[in-house]
């Protein structure tokens, strides 16, 4: 599974990265965390607000920092779908 954080490198984006990392650890899902900082890459996701979180190519949220439990629920749902 691929978890992607979209953000140009502001404090809020780093915070989202931290939450996502914690969520991956807690959920126990095998996932890689990628950070996309290039603006032309970010807009290809159709995202207008950063930070945004993408799981397996699907934009889960943008413009806010979801907290760890919420990310865990997305991760486990995505894991259940793939297996």
CB of 14 to other proteins, least distance (A): 11
CA 40 to chain CA centroid, Å, is 18
Verify binding: residue 42, other proteins, rule CB under 8 A: yes
* 12 binds other proteins per the rule CB under 8 A: yes
| Cβ count within 10 A of residue 21 | 16
Is the CB of 28 or the CB of 69 nearer to other proteins?
69
**Which of 10/33 has CB closer to other proteins?**
10
Angle at 60 between CA 48 and CA 67, to 5 degrees: 105
Please tell me the distance from the alpha carbon of residue 57 to that of residue 3, in angstroms, as a whole number: 8
The residues of the shown chain that bind other proteins, judged by CB under 8 A, are: 7-8, 10, 12-13, 39-40, 42-50, 59, 63-65, 67, 69
């Amino acid at each position: 599974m691929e978890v992607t954080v979209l953000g140009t490198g502001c404090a809020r984006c780093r915070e989202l990265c931290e939450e996502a990392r914690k969520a991956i650890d807690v959920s126990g899902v095998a996932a890689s965390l990628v950070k996309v900082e290039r603006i032309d890459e970010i807009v290809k996701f159709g995202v207008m607000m950063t930070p945004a979180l993408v799981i397996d190519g699907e934009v889960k949220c943008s413009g806010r920092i979801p907290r760890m439990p919420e990310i865990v629920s997305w991760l486990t749902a995505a894991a259940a779908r793939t297996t």
